[in-house]
Amino acid sequence: MARPNRRFILHARPAVRLYSSAQEAAQENPLVSDRAEQDHHAVVSTFDLFSIGVGPSSSHTVGPMRAAKIFINDLKEHKVLDRVRTLRVDLFGSLALTGDGHGTPNAILMGIEGETPDEVETSTILSRIDDIKTNKSICLDGTHRIHFDYDKHMIFNFFKTLPQHPNGLRFCAFDENANMVATNEYFSIGGGFVVNDDTQLDHGENVYYKEESKEKKEIVADERRQQDIAVVSLPFSNAEELLKVCKRENMTIAQVVYENELRWHTPQEIRSKLLRIWDTMDESIRNGVMASTEARLPGSLKVRRRAPALYQKLLKGLYPSIPSLGEYNKSQIAAEPNSVPAETPSSVPEKTTNGTAKHSLEILPKRQRKRFFLPALDYLSVYAIAVNEENACGGRVVTAPTNGAAGTIPSVLKYYIEFISENPERDVMEFLLTTSAIGMLYKRGASISAAEVGCQGEVGVACSMAAAGFTAVMGGSVEQVENAAEIGMEHNLGLTCDPVAGLVQVPCIERNALAAVKAIAAAQLALNGEGEHRVSLDQVIETMRQTGLDMMSKYKETSQGGLAVNVPVC
């Protein structure tokens, strides 16, 4: 069944609106975009879907930090940064209601000071925030210090939501006479993706900001304009089309994604980026399980970290590959330069139907089916809990596809590498490329934002992605991979987002652990079948979208319903 066309439309606004006086600012009227909706493919880069950032939330931490950085860079680009004497930041909707618990204000302040999610030194954030609040000043881009009273200039609009998206924020810059110099609105749409008027290109929801500098944004914008016509080798817009591409080209899902990635990156860059993503995932697991057993998570709930104690219990006689109790068995893979196999005259890659060489067949050859045993499923839960506890502490994690769901995919992949894998490097690449394809389908067909569709859009999507990836590395057919992805979401439909005290802790941490176990179960069901099933992945994605639209707002990351109102904080 064809999916009804859907597109995220923003009110058209200039990238940054500049004013010479308060009178001019008062006369400004926003224009409304009336662009016609168009149908486009789902393909984005794997490295846009999986990005390295900080916890506890991709939509409430990573996205707002990027938005703040973009706004400050725009002030520099327009040469008005030195005119600014103070800033006002307005948070709307879910960002206001759960912002404190999600670290949104802290992330914004770091972005204003010029930091980015993948490079900020997480250990210094809290001390820098205390300094900003105590001294009532902030340093724009780390160079221009201005007056900033946190209690006065960070505004939480608890009962207001901007029409474009539940996760809205507005920046206003003022000069020494309190005249507005510039303003803009941004929307954090999940997974660290940020949009505003500059992103309203002809590629619909696939357009976003994950680059903060003007030069990089222009390059990205130009690339996105070309995506539909030239950039993608093997385009697909839904799961049905993806399966047709795989059958037509006799390729796996990972190979299709790899061929598309070659339009953006070299084979060595793809390998290095994938391994860096996995190494960051593995490091977040290590940090989580090696933390103090007495440590507690930040926030009013005072939740004790459980992963360290659980991991130590599992090590007692259950993990022969670890030399001694208390150590961590790393699964990181060194990205050695020039290690991608070179073509030889005797092994010229096959070609796709459009004439391009199938380099993916050489890098990611099809595999034989493997037998699956369940000797240590407890590790799945420990790994997932470890990542999400690290995320709750503001540590470094990978959006997979969001921070709130950051533990599910690393847990399943770690489990596979530790207990089943015979070729970890190739398996990491195939797993991540396969999961990214499924994530692309959800991002285009529904949403990966809990503020839009509830937790089914985060943990539900992560479970579906992980089930598909696990099925692929176990040697499943493309039909079985699609089936596993469908099962993973079908039994997460309607999952609400109701974080207690607005913290990404309860029920988020345990929910990732259960999603990891459910992903393995979904993969088992798919692998034991022939790929035939009554409900298709496209149908379940559309059902998930409709369910999200029908879901009451109090169950969409607002902490106004569910467990958030029935579990006492004190």
From CA 439, how far away is CA 525, in angstroms rounded?
A: 21
Phi, psi for residue 568 in degrees, rounded to 5: -65, 140
Alpha carbon separation from 80 to 18, 149, 197, 555 (Å, rounded) = 9, 21, 20, 41
CB-based contacts of 262: which residues, under 8 Å, 6+ apart?
233, 270, 359
Report the alpha-carbon distance of residue 370 to residue 225 in Å, rounded: 42
Q: How many residues does the chain have?
A: 570
Start-to-end CA span in the chain (Å): 49
CB 55 within 8 Å of CB 502 = no
Residues 5, 265, 239, CA angle at the centre, nearest 5°? 30
pLDDT score at 209? 46
At 473 the pLDDT is: 97
Could you tell me the two tokens for 235?
């385009």
Q: What is the pLDDT of residue 306?
A: 97
Q: Which secondary-structure segment (H or E) carries 260?
A: helix 253-261
Integer Cα distance of 52 and 67 in angstroms:
16
pLDDT at 385: 98
Tokens of residue 488, six digits: 């993973």
Element (H, E) at 284: helix 267-289
The pLDDT profile of the chain, 570 residues, written as one tens digit per residue, is 443 333 222 233 334 555 444 444 444 433 223 333 344 688 889 999 999 999 999 999 999 999 999 999 999 999 999 999 999 999 999 999 999 999 999 999 999 999 999 999 998 999 999 999 999 999 999 999 999 999 999 999 999 999 888 999 999 999 999 999 999 999 998 888 898 854 333 333 333 444 555 555 555 445 444 444 436 899 999 999 999 999 999 999 999 999 999 999 999 999 999 999 999 999 999 999 999 999 999 999 999 999 999 999 888 755 444 445 567 878 888 776 666 554 444 455 666 666 666 788 888 888 877 765 555 688 999 999 999 999 999 999 999 999 999 999 999 999 999 989 999 999 999 999 999 999 999 999 999 999 999 999 999 999 999 999 999 999 999 999 999 999 999 999 999 999 999 999 999 999 999 999 999 999 999 999 987 889 999 999 999 999 999 999 999 999 999 999 999 886
In the Cβ-directed half-sphere of 485, how many Cα atoms lie within 13 Å?
A: 33
Do residues 456 and 464 touch, judged by C-beta distance below 8 A?
A: no
Q: Give 501's DSSP letter.
A: G
